[in-house]
């Protein structure tokens, strides 16, 4: 416990009130300065035992002089996934607010159960690593068995709450713990050791794959869940089998866990997808093929709505900023407009607005040639993939006069005697 937690500046102890987590609390308090610790308990709303457990943890934390944070569900939770997701959302929010890492009381028995459940789901090597996989969660008790923890709890005279939901056959983990594993141990005494050995091999394999991705695959991330660009040339020569190994590790950089079907579809798309094509993945994600990258994004991202351009103030539209120049600077900015498609002289005798380009949009070229589709201007400029999906056009009235960074129409160039105002566009996602 001392080796795992003392080097951390701040630690959130996930304490449910059960035996294992009360051992975590007691051992942490005995080995780590208490001002480094924060106790977090979540009431899942499963009954009076869950409420009693929260109250017990709050009393014990107070007696130990450790800060306590409690949470409670506001809606009924039924499935194991709902219970787990709600608990982890609370723990991660608490840790983020405290600028801390999370420590749980997972034991060796928890790992055995986890691996067996993943075997039953026919998980791949990445999933079979289970709790041995590298993580931002600290698990100092993972090498100890539940029997070890019970022995410690009795020796320390600890008090805990047994939640009846932990024995309910309604949940798969309880059926594995109380029915399937005892039956397997009866016919194979070494089943626990076998599963742990499998998990260690899988964890080493997983680490090797992640190391390969980190050193051999060029990635560009946009925050924890905003998206990811993957260099297409780094994947194009790989076989579908190799891509099925690489893509789960790649997607993890964007916080996405791929299911088996999604992995296969994504591998095939990597080999066959044309520039501009896209596929949908489960969980509200999609991948688009650009000229140079495979772009992984959340498909339910909020898109900016049409917005008027202000004539006296900056206008922010998503990652785009439109800045009007002062009238005194008009001549200076206007002199640069001929060569810089990131600036334009916009007519102010009609309302100015910005919106996402749409299929069928067209704009006249400065040379007076017939209107040409916006998508062709974007392609010529090398704007493809997700970047092209959200690219703006600027309208004067109902006429497209400017594709920022790409092209202006004749109506967006300086002309003597025409009322206008110079604008500069900046894009902060490039």
Q: Is residue 211 part of a domain?
A: no
User: What kind and span of H or E run contains 303?
Assistant: none
Q: Does some domain include residue 210? A: no
- Where does residue 109 fall: left (phi above 0), alpha (psi -120 to 50 degrees), or beta otherwise? alpha
Convert the pLDDT of each residue in 13-68 to its tens digit: 999 999 999 999 999 999 999 999 999 999 988 788 889 999 999 999 999 999 99
Domain-located, residue 56: yes
Listed residues 239, 268, 298: the one ending a domain: 298
Is residue 208, in this structure, part of any structural domain at all?
no
Going by pLDDT thresholds of 50, 70 and 90, the confidence category of residue 367 is low
Asked whether residue 152 falls in the same domain as residue 38, the answer is: yes
Torsion from C-alpha of 366, 368, 369, 373, nearest 10 degrees: 50
Does 108 share its domain with 54?
A: yes
Does one domain contain both 391 and 251?
no
Mean of per-residue pLDDT scores for the chain: 88
| Boundary of a domain, candidates 244, 275, 298 | 298
Shared domain check, 36 and 148: yes
**Structural domain total, the chain:** 3
**Same domain (yes/no): 153, 10:** yes
Is residue 50 in a domain?
A: yes
Q: Is residue 182 part of a domain?
A: yes
What is the mean predicted confidence (pLDDT) over 347-365? 88
| 290 and 344, same domain (yes or no) | no
Please give the model's pTM, rounded to 2 decimal places.
0.71
Say yes or no to pLDDT of 139 above 90. Answer: yes
Question: Which DSSP string corresponds to 328-379?
Answer: GGHHHHHTTTTT-TTEEEEESSS-EEEEE--TT-EE--TT-PPPEEHHHHHH
- Same-domain check for residues 22 and 86: yes
Q: How many CB atoms are located within 10 Å of the residue 267 CB? A: 21
Same domain, 60 and 183: yes
Residue 334 has pLDDT above 60, yes or no: no
Q: What is the pLDDT of residue 199?
A: 97
* Residue 203 located in a structural domain: no
Residue 138's Cα: distance from chain center in Å?
20
The conformation of residue 412, written as its DSSP 8-state character, comes to G
206 within some domain: no
148 and 246 co-located in one domain: no
- Looking at residue 259, its pLDDT comes to 86
Pair (51, 82) in one structural domain: yes
Find the domain containing 359 and state its range.
307-427
Same domain assignment for residues 321 and 184:
no
Please check the confidence at residue 416 and state whether its pLDDT lies above 70. no
Q: Which helix (H) or strand (E) is 305 found in, with range?
A: none
Domain shared by 169 and 251, yes or no: no
In the prediction, which pLDDT does 369 show? 72
Higher-pLDDT residue of 384, 151: 151
Helix (H, G, I), strand (E, B) or coil at 134: coil
Q: Answer yes or no: are the C-beta atoms of 334 and 345 closer than 8 Å.
A: yes
> Of the residues 234, 264, 298, which one is the last residue of a structural domain?
298
> pLDDT-derived band of residue 330, with 50, 70 and 90 as boundaries?
very low
Task: Check if the beta carbon of residue 13 is closer than 8 Å to that of residue 28.
Answer: yes
64-86 pLDDT tens trace: 999 999 998 877 777 888 888 89
CATH number, domain with residue 58 = 3.40.50.620
Tens of pLDDT, residue by residue over 187-235, are: 999 999 999 999 999 999 999 999 999 999 999 886 555 688 999 999 9
């Amino acid at each position: 416990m001392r080796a795992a937690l003392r080097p951390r500046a701040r630690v959130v102890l996930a304490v449910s009130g059960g035996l294992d987590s009360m051992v975590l609390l007691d051992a942490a308090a005995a080995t780590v300065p208490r001002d480094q610790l924060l106790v977090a308990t979540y009431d899942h709303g499963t009954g009076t035992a869950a409420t009693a457990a929260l109250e017990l943890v709050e009393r014990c934390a107070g007696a130990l002089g450790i800060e306590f944070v409690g949470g409670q569900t506001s809606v009924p939770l039924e499935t194991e996934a709902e219970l787990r997701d709600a608990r982890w959302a609370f723990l991660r929010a608490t840790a983020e607010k405290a600028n801390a890492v999370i420590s749980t009381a997972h034991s060796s028995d928890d790992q055995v159960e986890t691996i067996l459940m993943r075997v039953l789901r026919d998980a791949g090597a990445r999933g079979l690593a289970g709790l041995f996989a590298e993580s931002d969660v600290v698990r100092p008790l993972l090498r100890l068995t539940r029997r070890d923890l019970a022995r410690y709890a009795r020796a320390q005279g600890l008090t805990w709450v047994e939640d009846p939901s932990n024995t309910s056959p309604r949940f798969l983990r309880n059926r594995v713990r109380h029915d399937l594993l005892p039956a397997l141990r009866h016919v194979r005494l070494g089943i626990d050791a076998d599963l742990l050995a499998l998990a260690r091999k899988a964890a080493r394999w997983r680490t090797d794959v992640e190391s390969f991705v980190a050193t051999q695959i060029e990635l560009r991330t946009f925050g924890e869940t905003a998206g990811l660009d993957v260099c297409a040339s780094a994947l194009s020569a790989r076989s579908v089998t190799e891509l099925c190994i690489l893509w789960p590790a790649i997607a993890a950089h964007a916080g996405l866990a791929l299911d088996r079907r999604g992995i296969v579809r994504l591998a095939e798309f990597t080999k066959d997808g044309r520039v501009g094509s896209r596929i949908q993945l489960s969980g509200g994600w999609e991948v688009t093929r650009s000229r140079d990258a495979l772009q992984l994004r959340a498909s339910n991202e909020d898109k900016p709505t049409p917005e008027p351009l202000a004539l006296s103030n900056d206008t922010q539209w998503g990652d785009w900023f439109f800045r009007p120049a002062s009238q005194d600077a008009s001549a200076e900015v206007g002199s640069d407009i001929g060569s810089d498609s990131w600036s334009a002289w916009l007519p102010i005798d009609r309302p100015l607005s910005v919106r996402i380009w749409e299929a069928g949009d067209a704009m006249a070229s400065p040379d007076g040639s017939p209107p040409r589709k916006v998508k062709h201007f974007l392609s010529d400029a090398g704007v493809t993939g997700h970047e092209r999906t959200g690219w703006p056009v600027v309208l004067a009235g109902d006429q497209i006069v400017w594709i920022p960074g790409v092209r202006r129409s004749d109506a967006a160039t300086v002309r003597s005697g025409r009322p206008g105002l110079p604008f500069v566009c900046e894009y902060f996602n490039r």
